[in-house]
């Protein structure tokens, strides 16, 4: 991965379903991070921490020129490698030393501080760890069903679990129940279309919203700002 002098770049990871990303902040101040059902292991300014699954937008503060690199796990894929259920990290930023041993976290941080390509180094370390920590195979299936518009009841019947059992499984995998994850995924799908130039009403319909007003309400609730302001800031 080539790192841009400023801005954000990402590539597919060798870890299944994950993404490796790198960012150098353009200015001092906050960036609005939207919920996406994912978990990230992030190295920034000599610190190594985990970003848990968010339920609403998170404001991340950084200084101009600050560099961050990370591996972002697909929804439901992070808990097995990190060794902690996702609900324990919901809406939190947690130092890695709080999840792993102090010695392990310190040694990894030092390696990343000294690495010529810290993003690739972080990916390699996590890839080795993942060799004997298989993620729950149900997670990609659940995520795909939700993206396709399945109801929670329909998914529960297909996978042979009660809705209560499925809810507990969702908490461990995603940090919240499947209905919340479906809402977050739907918002991400609609915003992706809108960023690509699709009209708001068409983006809402394609993502499964009742209408554009429904999409606008979800954007305000989950992102904290109106859709037009959100897209203008992203641009």
Phi, psi values for residue 232, rounded to 5°? -65, -40
Task: Name the nearest CA neighbour of 201 among 214, 216, 211.
Answer: 211
Is residue 2's pLDDT more than 50? Answer: no
**What does 161-197 look like in DSSP terms, one character per residue?**
--HHHHHHHHHHHHSS-HHHHHHHHHHHHHHHHHHTT
Task: Name the nearest CA neighbour of 203 among 192, 217, 218.
Answer: 192
The pLDDT assigned to 164 comes to: 96
Q: Are 66 and 24 in contact (CB under 8 A)?
A: yes
Domain that holds residue 31: 7-130
Kindly report the pTM of this predicted structure.
0.90
The pLDDT assigned to 231 comes to: 87
Of the three residues 93, 111, 130, the one that is the final residue of a domain is 130
CATH number at residue 151: 1.10.10.60
pLDDT, tens digit (0-9, with 9 covering 90-100), for 38-69: 999 999 989 999 999 999 999 988 888 889 99
Cα three-residue angle 80-85-88, rounded to 5 degrees: 145
Task: Indicate whether 11 belongs to any domain.
Answer: yes
Same domain, 45 and 120: yes
Of the three residues 112, 130, 148, the one that is the final residue of a domain is 130
Q: How confident is the model at residue 1 (pLDDT cuts 50, 70, 90)?
A: very low
The pLDDT assigned to 78 comes to: 95
Tokens of 12: 């597919």
The pLDDT assigned to 6 comes to: 55
Is residue 118's pLDDT more than 90? Answer: yes
């Amino acid at each position: 991965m080539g790192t841009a002098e400023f801005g954000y770049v990402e590539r597919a990871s060798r870890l299944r379903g994950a993404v490796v990303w790198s960012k150098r902040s353009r200015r001092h101040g906050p960036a609005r991070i939207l919920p996406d059902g994912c978990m990230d292991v992030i190295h920034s300014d000599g610190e190594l921490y985990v970003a848990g699954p968010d339920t609403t937008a998170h404001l991340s503060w950084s200084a101009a020129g600050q560099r961050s690199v990370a591996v972002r796990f697909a929804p439901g894929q992070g808990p097995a490698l990190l060794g902690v259920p996702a609900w324990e990290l919901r809406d939190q930023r947690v130092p890695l030393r709080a999840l792993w041993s102090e010695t392990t976290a310190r040694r990894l941080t030092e390696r990343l501080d000294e690495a010529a390509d810290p993003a690739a180094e972080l990916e390699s370390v996590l890839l080795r760890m993942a060799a004997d920590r298989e993620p729950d195979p149900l997670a990609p299936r659940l995520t795909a069903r939700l993206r396709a518009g399945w109801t929670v009841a329909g998914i529960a019947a297909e996978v042979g679990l009660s809705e209560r059992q499925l809810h507990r499984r969702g908490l461990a995998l995603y940090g919240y129940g499947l209905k919340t994850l479906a809402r977050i995924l739907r918002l991400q799908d609609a915003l992706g279309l809108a960023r690509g130039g699709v009209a708001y009403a068409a983006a809402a319909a394609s993502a499964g919203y009742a209408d554009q007003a429904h999409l606008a309400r979800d954007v305000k609730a989950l992102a904290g700002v109106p859709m037009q302001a959100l897209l203008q800031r992203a641009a």
